[in-house]
Amino acid sequence: MNKKRNWWFFTLILLIFLALLIFGIVYFLNGSTTQWNIDTLHNYALTGNLQNIHMVVSNNVVTISGYLISDDGAITQFSITIARDAYNLLLLEDWFASLNSLATVSDGSSTPLWLTLLSSFLPFIIMILIYVWIFRMMMKGGGMGGAGGIFGMSKNRARQTKSDVKFSDVAGISEEKAEIVELVDYLKNPSKYASAGARVPKGVLMEGPPGTGKTLLAKAVAGEANVPFFSIAGSEFEEMFVGLGASRVREMFADAKKTAPCIIFIDEIDAVGRKRSANMGSGTNEQTLNQLLVEMDGFGTNSGIIVMAATNRVDVLDSALLRPGRFDRTIQISLPDIREREAILRLHARNKKISPKVDWRRVAERTPGFSGAQLENVLNEAAILMVREKKPIISIQEIDEAIDRVVGGPAKKSRAMTAQDKDIVSYHEAGHALIGLKLDSASKVQKVTIIPRGNAGGYTIMTPKDESVFSSIQDLEASIAGYLGGRAAESIIFGDKNVTTGAHDDLDKATNIARRMVTQFGMSSLGMTKFITMQDDAYGKTTGAYSDETAAKIDAEIAKMLDRSYEIAKKIISEHRDTLELIAESLKILETITAEQIEFINKNKKLPQEVIDEKLKREERKEKEERGEILDFSPDENDDTDPTNNSEEKDK
């Protein structure tokens, strides 16, 4: 009611201002024009100093206007109004006839007075209407920052969400899902918990790598819980104005209290919940965080409101936000293991035409380290490949290709490789595979390919033999040796002077493992001192608070570890060079070999039958070409002797 009264008062003031403005403009225009009579016009017409003469002829009167330029340069605007009969008589006068020849004559009846006034004041009217509209929007939204304000900076940006995701659509994180199901059960049956003297957790924080299902769980809660569900991103609290984020937090909780019991979900809460700096209260982000802390657990009570949040940077959150009473539970959602990957694959395969011959266990073995989002993307890529190749169902070939596309991008089969490049890549990847076969603690080889993808000339997929939570010194050293197996194979086959740059990514990964063993895991001769804290590592720092002398010792220890693992790799490859040759030859012929074919080579010390068959086909084709029976000058995709390409292939 008060807003309506203010609106009418403002409208009245605006109308009075508009009337005064129009009156003033008309008065100014009329007051600056000198009114003449016929004699004055006659006298000045004879001097020839009149310019811009304009005559408006109507039915009854004629208006003559223009400017007088005096000898000293002064300009006077004049106007004279005469009757139509007098105007007709003046046309007989010689002086008026000469004046009339210089004038522009218009019909006054064609341009009404109201239209002339409207065209003059139209810009002012448009500006006033725009101002009135802006003011009404401001009044309606309670100010520029109000809900629906003209600049869209509403205080409460949380949206009430309706989701069609159910808990049955979430797989692979059964323990974490059970924790969330309990919250929904409390909201539906609060008396059951109240009788046991239990209170509902005020907040639940879900933490884990990207793509593991944090937001998906929140959507499932929204779909299952028959209560209002508000969702907002952490970045939506802050704008350019100081204090706006804190105001939005207050408004969000005020709206939530009206609909309690309810759930508030804050995605990427690290955007607003970062640790406070030494300059307390100096930044807008800290004001927003302080308000969030008070609303979650302050003097006021928020009964019936559960705050859920998701982040993959829990290490940067303020400790006051993580204490019990605010976020009572922290649910760790990690990357799925082999059993969970199998369950996720089966879930996402429900609405797709999959061949019954597909062994999901084997697919899960070939996707180590994949998140739930990546597994969903694998099956989506496989479905796209099925449509592209016009196949009725998705077979293991499409799934394998989809895995490769997710790992390294689309295959670049058109990229020509010289015979030398193909030899280098084949022996390099065979070196990785051989270390995985012969070193007990090394990862198991699932697939090896020399088909270029992205910047990689080839790559090897390896999975841990046992997906353990912990890694021993022996496991980590075996991983380093596995990464250095490609460089070791190049050195043994082509010589130390002919090793290539293909191992640059392998060296980066091996060095990173060795550095963490020395600086974080206490697995070196430097002792158990932790040189780089978890917080430093989270912020990407590779150096800690230690002296230059200690830094030199760390570098020396890393080099010692790499050299030791490299010698192990060279020793294994030298002792099993015959197996290396068989794997490399299989790669040069088939370009891609699987774990089954590698195991066959390792067990029987001979080429798999698929390699022998393909080798015979090539020999027969070559013989026919030599006899002239095949006249095909198109380049063969398996041709090893393309002399036109000297590009250097890089290992992944």
Angle between helices 595-604 and 577-590 (to 10 degrees): 140
Q: Which of 592, 562, 541 is nearest to 429 (CA)?
A: 592
CA dist 620 to 419, 625, 639, 642, Å? 20, 9, 14, 20
**Domain limits for position 485:** 419-627
- Residues with catalytic function: 429
Evaluate whether residue 231 is within a structural domain: yes
Task: Say yes or no: 488 and 358 in one domain.
Answer: no
Q: 184: domain CATH number?
A: 3.40.50.300
Q: Which residues pair with 347 in a beta bridge?
A: none
pLDDT at site 149 = 46
pLDDT at site 538 = 54
Task: Say yes or no: 344 and 328 in one domain.
Answer: no
Give the confidence band of 61 by pLDDT, cuts at 50, 70, 90: confident
Give the confidence band of 541 by pLDDT, cuts at 50, 70, 90: low
Domain count, the chain: 4
Domain boundary pick from 314, 332, 350: 332
Within a 10 A sphere around the Cβ of 199, how many other Cβ atoms?
11
Mean pLDDT estimate for the chain = 79
Task: Say yes or no: 555 and 615 in one domain.
Answer: yes
Task: Say yes or no: 392 and 432 in one domain.
Answer: no
Task: Say yes or no: 283 and 345 in one domain.
Answer: no
- Residue 337 has φ and ψ, to the nearest 5°, of -85, -170
Domain boundary pick from 354, 379, 408: 408
Evaluate whether residue 55 is within a structural domain: yes
For residue 614 the two structure tokens come to 């393909």
Evaluate whether residue 232 is within a structural domain: yes
Evaluate whether residue 92 is within a structural domain: yes
Evaluate whether residue 237 is within a structural domain: yes
Task: Say yes or no: 187 and 307 in one domain.
Answer: yes
Domain boundary pick from 332, 358, 392: 332
- Residue 198 has φ and ψ, to the nearest 5°, of -100, 145
**Exposure class string for 388-407: b at 16+ Cβ within 10 A, else e:** eeeeeebbbebbbbbbbbbb
Q: 477: domain CATH number?
A: 1.20.58.760
Task: Say yes or no: 400 and 428 in one domain.
Answer: no
CA atoms of 288 and 282, how far apart (whole Å)? 11
Region 66-82: what's the mean pLDDT?
A: 81
For residue 257 the two structure tokens come to 């209290």
Q: 376: domain CATH number?
A: 1.10.8.60
Evaluate whether residue 81 is within a structural domain: yes
Evaluate whether residue 649 is within a structural domain: no
Task: Say yes or no: 550 and 587 in one domain.
Answer: yes
> HEC string of 202-223?
CEEEEECCCCCCHHHHHHHHHH
Task: Say yes or no: 505 and 358 in one domain.
Answer: no
Task: Say yes or no: 458 and 378 in one domain.
Answer: no
Task: Say yes or no: 348 and 300 in one domain.
Answer: no
Q: In this predicted model, what pLDDT tens digit does every residue of 401-444 receive, in sequence order? A: 888 888 877 777 666 677 888 889 999 999 999 998 888 777 77
pLDDT at site 634 = 46
